[in-house]
Amino acid sequence: MPLYECVLIARSEVTQQQVEGIADAIALQLDNDNGVEPGNSVKKREYWGLRSLAYRIKKNRKGHYMLLGLETKPAPLNEMERQLRLNEDVLRFLTIRVEAIEEAPSAILARKSDDRERGFRGPKPAGRFDSGRKRGYDDREEFRARDETERDREPGFRSRELAHEE
């Protein structure tokens, strides 16, 4: 049977369990249509998590991503795509035919694990407008101005104008 990969994006309002339920429904429907034992049509299943979309889709800015590796005939695949179009929780899906389904984690999951392993990468260098000097709580301008006005009120303090006149 031909091999396919299907990536679907579900609405952000649904939970991860509901996305898994959509994938389970797809698997059950494909198994029934192909006449195989349950669990044999879906060869790979990866949940990529809640991710930001590049642009808004049906008023959503985020979506749950799921990758499915499928082994099925074309007719059941068409029925699966029809069911995905009817499901209101699915924003988009894309199915492509592949020569082989890779058993290794996809590039998305591999990159996620690399980010976790990277951890702390050292102190952040000074930015374009930052001198690198970290200001404390009392170094802010409003506190410096307040200190100057309190000093002006102290007895024995002469203002700069009086010192300049002499």
* Per-residue pLDDT reduced to its tens digit, 130-151: 655 555 555 555 555 555 556 6
73 vs 144 pLDDT, higher one: 73
* Per-residue pLDDT reduced to its tens digit, 103-135: 888 888 888 766 666 666 666 666 666 655 555
Cα–Cα distance between 59 and 12 in angstroms, integer? 10
Q: Please list, in sequence order, all residues whose beta carbon lies within 8 angstroms of the beta carbon of residue 13, skipping any fewer than 6 positions away.
A: none
Q: What is the CA radius of gyration of the chain?
A: 30
Residue 53: exposure state from Cβ atoms within 10 A (0-12, 13-18, ≥19)? middle
Q: Which domains does the chain have, with CATH numbers?
A: 3-102 (3.30.70.60)
